[in-house]
Chain A
Amino acid sequence: MAAAFAAEFLARAKEKAPVIVETVKAYCPGACADGSGPGGPSEGSGLRSGTEMSNFQNYTEEGGYAETSLTNGARLERQGSSVEIDEFGGKGNEQIDEWQAGWNVTNAIQGMFIVSLPYSVQQGGYWGVFALVFVAYICCHTGKILVECLYEYNDRGELVRVRDSYVSIAKVCLGSKWGSRCVHFAQVTELLMTCILYIVLCGNLMVGSFPESTIDQRSWMMIFTMVLLPCAFLRDLRSVSMLSFWCTMTHLFINVIILGYCLLCAGDWGWSKVSWSINMDKFPVTMGIVVFSYTSQIFLPSLEGNMVDRSKFHCMLNWSHIAAAAFKAIFAWMCFLTWTDQTEEVITNNLPTRGFKIVVNLILVAKALFSYPLPYFAAAALLEHQYFRERPKTIFPSCYYIDGELRVWGLAARIALVLSTMLLAVSIPYFALLMGLIGSFTGTMLSFIWPCYFHMKLKWNQMNHQQICWEVFIIVFGGFSGIIGIYTSFAGLVEAYHLPMPPIPVLNEA
């Protein structure tokens, strides 16, 4: 009886195999390059040879490529300020290709908290590794549906890009006044918090590397702010993409160095230490790091809008998330195998010699500096779009001269933005907790709840039950992570004000 059933099952499976393979292929990342991917707007075809992964192996070529694109970007003529500027300042003739978009997404989702991921595996065992992959899958999905919300079918059944930004989707779904303001505020907050985080991290890493030097943490932060001042001149997404590319390279470099060390210790790996048990006290906190390390949705509408070939957007998004998930999961897992119970909250503290620590810390500083321009540029462009587009549209005049160059006060405002991120970095006490508190809220909304809600609101008629269930699940999952994040950060903040620490270190007596 059972044998007969099994035989029948096998036969059916064989019958269905080609169909399954086709379905799998259709959902595979590479497929969308041919325009046959699920759901994606399809125009044009063909993918640059190789994938992002293969690209990691011969990056010098890509580096040259990225540089060329910057030079081109700089030479591009700016024809008057009347050109319609989109949310992130991109203009019609300054488009980026899928690789450049990919670098930016990678910059956003392979964040600085990679060094904390092994700790999440220590707290959550295999669940931590699973979470790293699973959250990547969810975030990739919400990114896609968010971009889908930009498109509507016209009378002839063609997909047309009718909206150009997150805010414009919010205008339709949440109301044009408060809804869009909410989203705009959340975006700017999230982006500026990220900028502040990078400066704080530079200070942390430097003061940890050179504790004896007379330069203290806030001085390090100010020193690196000088390095970041040229960001005020950033005008187009291409230069930002190039910086994001170098950010990815430094990230790769860190991976190579640390994983190389881990492999040297492969003989002593503690295989049995990875468990299925979860430390329920700590796991929610580390889960927060995992969840909010994948948030790139904020950039996606603009990146997609600025892509030369938008049909490759899905492909780019898939591969960047696959790469991020693979790198993060393998990195976290291997580091945990190497250090097992000794794994520290910041993995560089585990490295054996002082010189090694300093080298890795310095590379991380470089990574933070390369990461800064993307959120900074996006925040500046969002603010510009909202407040600086001449009188009738917005309250302030344009930051640009008629020939398209920055006005002097425009530059001053942008430099002030860089300086204000620095000032907040040196003056906010308990920044990690504050970031956790605010970031959990904005991150949850921007990355999980809003994309799904907007998608369901706009595309309800085109969705089947399965999709609806899945997106409801994402909303619940995101909401749950957000609540945990807010709760733990809030508890931490409440506790912090009874801590044996000064409330505002900067205001210490001289």
Chain B
Amino acid sequence: MKMSRSSVLLLIAIACISSAGAFRQPVVFPPLDASKYEDASAHELPEQRIIATDSAVPEENHEHADDRPATAPHEELPRSNETRGEPIALAQRSSTIRIKAPEHSLAVWNSDGTICILARFQATFEIPYATASGKKYASIKMPPNRELATRGVCPTESREPLFEVQWPLFKFIMHFARIHSPSSWYVNKIEVQYNTNSPLFPGALNPGRRYASATQNISLFKTPMGQSYGCPLYPPLVLTHQNSSSEIRVKLRDIRLQAYQLTGNYGPLSRCQQVAMAHTLDPYNYDRTVPVAVGSTLAGVSLATIVGYALYRSMFATKVDYGNIR
């Protein structure tokens, strides 16, 4: 019963959106048959169980809910799982006001409206795929935030958080885990789900859904508890397909990430050791003591240099002049 109701809702929504011409085309993805995508995804996603949502409230809860106007991808995509499994985490019907996420960041909210996961990053995926003329690579870039939908699972005592970002035909999932001594968190699984039945994979053989992950003892972005992870340029991550040897390379840059103990904004920065050339966007610490101290010292040294030179000139130059006169 529930299922059919939501299906009807879905169809109505799609009809309204497309008839109103409001289907917002993502920059990198061509328009696609959304219902087909829904169908395809509904049966194959391996991780649905975890990100299941309350089926009665299909639209409002689990997507990225900042102030941007809801667009087609926002409305449609999160519902791919809407009727599956048991509600576990983010199934709240509450109309609590959510805390606004920091600018340009993707967020997941708790039932009381507080932020429990914050993330911002750029991702590029190098995906090999088979064609009639051999192996080819598709380079796929994560679209801008406004075209993304995010969902996730907030951390509790018993459950580790999960963060999912998706856009048409594509899904990128991070699983978190924590260690108690020393108290820290890290990412222990990364997944990518995509569909090669798309113009981004021209000439792909056996087009359809693909799944790749990196699970073999990975511990990425290890960060002390209460802090956020930041990195301007992360070395490429290698994800392997389930039943083939081909590897996806994921390049993440400008990362800022925190999944535990958030207080509305990112915690103190724990930065990686990578160097990015001419990168001026390194997330600065919010603590301004050091920059202010260094800045004042620099101003002082500059002034002292000028004053010192003026004194030197006034003493030294005068002497020279007297010498010349004699």
| A residues neighboring B (CB under 8 Å) | 112-113, 115-116, 197, 200-201, 203-205, 207-209, 211-212, 214-219, 222-223, 225-226, 229, 232, 281, 342, 344-346, 348-349, 354, 357, 361, 401, 403, 405-406, 408, 411-412, 415, 419, 422, 425-426, 428-432, 435, 495, 498-502, 505-506, 508-510
CB atoms of A510 and B280 under 8 A apart: no
Interface SS, A side:
helix
The 23 sampled A-B contact pairs (Cβ below 8 Å) are: A204-B276, A208-B275, A211-B271, A211-B273, A217-B282, A218-B284, A342-B235, A346-B276, A349-B273, A401-B317, A408-B306, A408-B310, A426-B280, A429-B280, A431-B278, A500-B119, A500-B145, A500-B254, A501-B104, A502-B281, A505-B281, A505-B282, A509-B286
- How far, in whole Å, are A346 and B277 apart by their CA atoms in the complex? 7
Check A500–B120 contact: CB distance below 8 A.
yes
Whether B215 sits at the interface, judged by CB under 8 Å, is: no
Option from A205, A218, A419 in Cβ contact (under 8 Å) with B302 = A419
CA distance A508 to B306 in the complex (A): 32
Q: Which residues of A contact B297 (CB under 8 A)?
A: 222, 226
B-chain residues with CB within 8 Å of residue A203 when the two chains form the complex: 282
Report B's interface with A, CB cutoff 8 A.
Answer: 102-106, 119-122, 139, 144-146, 232-233, 235-236, 254, 270-288, 290-291, 294-295, 297-298, 301-302, 305-306, 309-310, 313, 317, 320
By a CB distance below 8 angstroms, the chain A residues around B104 are 499-502
Complex CA–CA separation, A403 to B284 (angstroms): 47
B305 x A502 contact (CB < 8 A): no
Residues of chain B contacted by A229 (CB below 8 angstroms): 301-302, 305
Cα–Cα distance between A498 and B122 once the two chains are bound (Å): 11
Q: Is the CB of B277 within 8 A of A112?
A: yes
Whether A432 and B274, one on each chain, are in contact in the complex, defined by CB atoms closer than 8 angstroms, is: no
Query: B residues within 8 A CB of A495?
Result: 144
Known: A349-B233, A510-B286. Contact between A403 and B320, CB under 8 A?
A: yes
In the complex, the answer to whether B282 meets A207 with C-beta atoms within 8 Å is: yes
A502 touches B103 (CB 8 A): yes
A197 to B278, CA, bound (A): 6
Write the chain B residue with the least CB distance to A289: B277
Contact (A432, B277) CB under 8 Å given A211-B272, A229-B305:
yes
A209: chain B residues at CB < 8 Å are 273, 275
When distances are taken between beta carbons in the complex, the residues of chain A under 8 Å from B309 are 406, 408, 411
Complex Cα spacing A510 to B287, Å? 7
B283 and A505 within 8 A (CB): yes
Docked pose: A426 CA to B298 CA in angstroms: 14
Q: How far apart are the CA atoms of A281 and B138 in the complex, in Å?
A: 11
Alpha-carbon gap, A426 to B282, bound state (A): 11
Per a CB cutoff under 8 Å, which of B281, B306, B317 touches A411?
A: B306
How far in angstroms is the closest Cβ of chain A from B5? 35
B304 to chain A: closest residue by CB: A229
Q: How far is the CA of A428 from the CA of B278 in the complex (A)?
A: 11
Contact B271 A222 (CB under 8 A): no
The answer for the CA separation of A344 and B104 in the assembled complex, in Å, is: 26
Task: Give the docked Cα–Cα distance between A115 and B274 (Å).
Answer: 13
Known: A217-B282, A499-B104, A499-B122. A204 touches B290 (CB 8 A): no
Determine if A201 and B235 form an interchain contact, defined as CB atoms under 8 angstroms apart.
no
State whether B278 touches A222 (Cβ < 8 A). Answer: no
**Complex Cα gap A209–B122 (Å):** 23
B residues in contact with A426, CB < 8 Å? 280
Q: For A281, list chain B residues within 8 Å (CB).
A: 139
Q: Using CB atoms, name the residue of chain A closest to B121.
A: A500
A505 CB contacts on chain B under 8 angstroms: 280-284
CB-based contact B278/A204 at 8 Å: yes
B279: A residues at CB distance < 8 A: 200, 204, 431-432
